[in-house]
Structure 1
Amino acid sequence: MNISEKAQLAKQGDKEAFVCLIRAVERNLFIVARSIVKNEADCADAMQETIAKAFSNIHTLKEPAYFKTWIIRILINECNRMIRKKKRVHPVPYDMRNTTYTSEYEQIELFEVIDELDEQLQTIVTLYYIEDLSVKEIAKVLEVSEGTVKSRLYRARQKLSELALGEGEAKYGSS
């Protein structure tokens, strides 16, 4: 049974289907929350609130096929609410980010460079490159146009290139 079918069952009140959906997206939620709130305690709180809100409002889900983007949107709103409430940001311990990179050092360097971006671009990069969401899905999640997503991705790529080149020149000296 796919996510769309489980979401339809959950929308009709099937609690087991909802639990299966949450298990299917749990890692995605963690990665997105972690990239926004920057510490484990807030990440856990945001996820818990998101799951509770999603459970209470599953009946409002218009298109079951978009359950993942729907719940990520709830999570992003919850994370932003927490940030506004606390008005503080913590650095992320890189070893807590689970990815499939071949080397721990490559993973750390990647996230160090991503953390140099402003928060808006960090979110876009995380959703596109780490969560593997399409431009269309990101536009839905962030409630912006696809053109806005594309332009932010372009700006993020430019900034990442500048940062990577700058670090390369600083480490190895320019020729």
Structure 2
Amino acid sequence: MHINPIVVKAKAGDPEAFVQLMQEIELPLYRTARSIVNKDEDCADALQETMLKAFKSIHTLREPAFFKTWIFRILINECNKMIKNNARALPYGELPEVPSISKDYEKIELWDAVQHLEENLRIVIHLHYLQDMSIRQISEILEISTVAVKTRLHRARKKLKHSSQFNQEMELRHGKY
């Protein structure tokens, strides 16, 4: 389904169109939030805040074609806010919860290696490969230059290349195993 006509309706104040929009984009938003925050509760809170902020301010969206970029920017800001707040609330010595791998990611062979990347590399990999976003879209969402996005992608790929999961996968694919 093409999302732009629905965005136009939602922007005009149609609540049913907004609900339909959220249903269309809920899974990609969840996956992105889950790749940033590790707790399901934080993920749910970030999604809820994102949807609420989007509902309240969709009328400010200038171009319906940029809806996806706009809402992902809101989501990432909410996730970063959660991380910042949780970092302050974490008592000294308490270990953070180990993230569980969701069903959707079990099929991705390098997910464990991706999860061990630094956040700035992990989010770029996630947006580019799992959300099929262009380098330009990622640069707008993260508010960094396209060169910075390309650099982060390169660094992430380089780190993944050195991971054992990557090497095992390449051996299996190329018959060296």
Same fold (TM over 0.5): yes
Q: CA deviation at 1:97?
A: 4.6
Residue equivalent to 1:68 = 68
Aligned mate of 2:104, from 86, 98, 105:
98
Question: CA–CA distance in 1 between the matches of 2:166 and 2:57?
Answer: 47
User: Which amino acid in 1 is paired with 2:33?
Assistant: A
RMSD of aligned Cα (Å): 1.8
User: Which amino acid in 1 is paired with 2:78?
Assistant: E
Question: CA–CA distance in 2 between the matches of 1:11 and 1:166?
Answer: 44
Per-residue CA shift, 1:60-89, capped at 9, x if unaligned?
111101111111110000000011001165
Residue equivalent to 1:78 = 78
Residue equivalent to 2:122 = 122
Question: CA–CA distance in 1 between the matches of 2:103 and 2:36?
Answer: 12
Question: CA–CA distance in 1 between the matches of 2:128 and 2:157?
Answer: 11
Is 1:27 matched up with 2:27? yes
Question: CA–CA distance in 2 between the matches of 1:35 and 1:145?
Answer: 22
Per-residue CA shift, 1:98-118, capped at 9, x if unaligned?
14xxxx4x53x4111001210
SS in 1 for 2:133: coil
User: Which amino acid in 1 is paired with 2:104?
Assistant: N
Residue equivalent to 2:46 = 46
Q: Give unmatched runs, 5+ long, in structure 1.
A: 169-175
Q: Does the CA contact (< 8 Å) of 2:160 and 2:166 recur in 1?
A: no
SS in 2 for 1:98: helix
Question: CA–CA distance in 1 between the matches of 2:27 and 2:166?
Answer: 32
Is 1:18 matched up with 2:24? no
Q: CA deviation at 1:55?
A: 0.2
Identity across matched positions, percent: 46
User: Which amino acid in 2 is paired with 1:28?
Assistant: P
Q: Does the CA contact (< 8 Å) of 1:6 and 1:20 recur in 2?
A: yes
Question: CA–CA distance in 2 between the matches of 1:158 and 1:123?
Answer: 15
Question: CA–CA distance in 2 between the matches of 1:21 and 1:74?
Answer: 15
Cα gap change, 1:76 to 1:166, in 2 (>3 Å): closer
Q: Give unmatched runs, 5+ long, in structure 2.
A: 91-95, 169-177
Q: CA deviation at 1:166?
A: 8.1
Runs of 4 or more off by more than 4 Å in structure 1?
165-168
Per-residue CA shift, 1:109-146, capped at 9, x if unaligned?
41110012101001001111111111111111111111
Q: CA deviation at 1:167?
A: 6.1
Question: CA–CA distance in 2 between the matches of 1:74 and 1:84?
Answer: 15
